[in-house]
Amino acid sequence: MPSSALAVTAAGIEFQNPVLLAAGTAAYGRELANVIDLDALGGLVTKAVSVERRLGARAPRVAEFDGGMINAVGLANPGVEEVKAEHLPWLANKLRRARVLVNVVGNHVEEFGAVVSLLDDSSAVSGYELNVSCPNVRAGGMEFGADPRSLSEVVSRARVATKKAIFVKLSPTLEDIGRSAQIAADAGADGISVVNTLPGLLIDVDTRKPALGFGTGGVSGPGLLPVGVLATYKVARAVQLPVIGVGGISHATDIIQYVIAGATLVAIGTAAMLQPKLPEKLVDDLERWCRDKQVSSLTDLRGSLQWER
């Protein structure tokens, strides 16, 4: 039975625990269905969904290093029509307790709202995560989240298309992530996800070429933990919205750090790819931690950082 200590509500959605699978970790759920009990988790964020099919970046797409992983998948996905016809019905039939957030991407501002509108009648979908770290092709490739006007318009158009929850995923490279979160909130966002990956370059010293086919990629893994925790703290102080803390989580105490910084939910990415059963274990470890520390509810810990300056 779900632990009441771990139950949380975010953006009007009830989650049995705060542990989600981050976007891209489990594709659309089916890939991990025989590996872990998805219904033991709070939920999952799907792989990216765009209006049209995306083939993604050329291989190799992933490389490991001592500090974690770097990837350039290129937001590969089958497109919104196939996701709606094939993947969301499977999720609706399979999951009973875990919630589903659909990660949405686009080449220009109109495409985010278009994807949301096309998927919004699915009973599988509890809400959306807008990846505003992707480039706006109509603005010279600038990230949507780095341009206040584009960020506001992306969220506003998605808001018109749905009454379901909208989370906005922000990049750790933003100059003022709290301000960006406020812009998203003013435009109608119900929550904020932080952080996306950090840009990086890994080189094969034998060939003197990038380790990834695309060249540069997004860095994730343990080293991202303090980056994500700080971003969570900044965003939680800037807006009165639930925060999904993402980055570097591999232990229950990592989750607790995010909660103390202000997160309501967390999402597991790289660690789940290395150890697919880990997210389910983290739920048990988190429940044990709460019991051992006599914490009756994670809500009591949220935003409780004691910072003496």
For the annotated catalytic residues, the residue numbers are: 134
Tokens encoding 216:
């540069």
Distance (Å, rounded) from C-alpha 219 to C-alpha 248?
10
* Amino acid letter, residue 117: S
For 63-121, write each residue's pLDDT tens digit.
999 989 999 999 999 999 999 999 999 999 999 999 999 999 999 999 999 999 999 99
Query: Residue 252: how many CA atoms within 13 Å on its side-chain side?
Result: 17
**Taking the model in full, what pTM does it have?**
0.96
| CATH no. of 8-52+78-199+220-300 | 3.20.20.70
Give me the percent of the chain exceeding a pLDDT of 90: 91
For 174-195, write each residue's pLDDT tens digit.
999 999 999 999 999 999 999 9
Which helix (H) or strand (E) segment holds residue 233: the answer is helix 225-238
Bridge partners of residue 64, in order along the sequence: 69
Which helix (H) or strand (E) segment holds residue 218: the answer is strand 216-220
* Amino acid letter, residue 190: D
